[in-house]
Structure 1
Amino acid sequence: MKIKRHSAALGFFAAGTLVLSACGTDQNVPQGGGNPALAGLNVDCGTKPVSAEGSSAQKNAMDVFARDYGIACEGQQLNYTKSGSGKGVAAFTAGQIDFGGSDSPLDEADGEVAKAAERCQGNPAWNIPMVFGPIAVSYNVEGVDDLVLNADVIAKIYQGQIKNWNDPRSPR
């Protein structure tokens, strides 16, 4: 049985996410303040706080975005409430918040695209991927119940260097 690349890609991101979330602290502001990636940007800070809600999986990333927004726009706030993707989309399309965080794009079949366009006064709502957070790599190979996929193997699968579950480079 061959390993599917999209499953491998999800595993690669999951492994990377776990490693990256384990490093650092909650206080990643360089001396002198601010995120160097924001230096020199002309940010329109508006006049009122930005409100958002949605996916709880995105909460940690949104906290970092909120911190950097507050640094770039002194005295301004980005308030994000983790309430679930569905509630985020519903609150956005109802005009209750400035943007919604969701684990999937707006669904045209469910009318979300049309509701968002109405809320945006005829303009399309943007689906902007911001956070990657897959959970697991799965496999279904009859008779195999102890396959080991370490970070090196997952990376090689993602890069197309390992194409079969029984590749000798896969640890046992």
Structure 2
Amino acid sequence: MSDFWVFGYGSLMWNPGFEHIRSEPAILRGAHRALCVYSWVHRGTQERPGLVFGLDNGGACRGMAYQVPEHSWPETLSYLRAREQTTMVYKEHWHGIELDSGEKVQSLVYMVDHAHPQYAGALPLEEQLQIVSGAVGKSGKNPEYVINTAAHLEEMGITDTGLAWLADRLRNS
């Protein structure tokens, strides 16, 4: 393997933060995007958690795939681990994804760890709204993260009615 792929499904779609030579919309089968992770660092604190996206089991997820050149892979992996693994709520997996061009590649994905205390599971939308509304962490306000992700999904033509409902209420609060 001369190049490596990373699959983004949340903020990595609009803020990858690493060198890549190609990006393309892609689909990951067997997992779905969900606001299922209590954020204790980036978008909240342990005292006032926020919510961030995780890849949870089942379904399919459309996102963005980034091709990383071999020479920058060690640096990219270090960066991703520092960003995504602050509290070890995600597990690194290599998973097959399909690019919009039809090409199938193996990609690094971060799946949520169900045994981790930050795993929130499937929360009702009203509860998600309550949690996200006032949460702030070292990377900024939780509503901004949710609204930005919703906007980027919309730009990509990805429909998520629950997320759209949540983003609309956050924008208007």
Q: Which has the higher strand share?
A: 2
Asked if TM exceeds 0.5, the reply is: no
Q: Give the TM-score normalised by structure 2.
A: 0.24
Q: Which has the higher helix share?
A: 1
Q: Give the TM-score normalised by structure 1.
A: 0.24
Instruction: Tell which structure's C-alpha radius of gyration is larger.
Output: 1
